[in-house]
Amino acid sequence: MENELIRNLPPMDTATLSNGVSFRWHHADGGEEVCSLTVLFNGGAVETDVVSQQMLLSQLLEGTSRLSADTIAERLDETGAVFRPRADAHFTGFTLLMLRRTVPQVMDLLGTVITDAAFPPDRLEIGKMAATAQLRAANDDV
């Protein structure tokens, strides 16, 4: 079923901006236009420990000096955006899916989250416990 869906995707176009950022898109008929932004940071599981990688990802949306985690989640929901963390061997980051018509609002929110990140102590402790539990579970599977 999945292979059939992939075969039926419209052709993909690619472009590279003057600053070197490349992007790809599909042309599809009907429905809402959707955009995807992937942000990757050097440093994955090979370069750093898995707990650090998981901690970074778990804390990205935990709040800023002016916005709580709940407010960030509500704004993402209101704009139809979806945040997907990514943890690879050499990169850590996220993909953000959003409706084309809400790109300005989502980009403003993303800018705030990245430049004004605040890690509330209670949320940081929950993140530490979750990352440690994931690491222990992964070690138990080995």
23-44 pLDDT, tens digit each: 777 666 667 888 888 888 887 7
State the amino acid at position 68 in one-letter form: S
Closest by CA position to 82, among listed 28, 34, 25, 137: 34
Q: Which two tokens stand for residue 26?
A: 């599909």
Closest by CA position to 16, among listed 7, 8, 25: 25
Sign for the CA dihedral angle at 69, 57, 95, 136 comes to negative
Look at the block and give the residue holding tokens 């949320």. Answer: 123
pLDDT of residue 1: 45
Dump strand ranges (E) for 65-133: 82-87, 91-99
Sign for the CA dihedral angle at 91, 94, 105, 102 comes to positive
C-alpha to C-alpha distance for 24 and 60, rounded to whole angstroms: 25
How many residues are present in the chain? Answer: 142
pLDDT of residue 57: 77
**Three-state secondary-structure class, residue 9:** coil
* pLDDT tens track for 65-118: 899 989 999 999 999 999 988 888 888 888 899 998 999 999 999 999 989 988
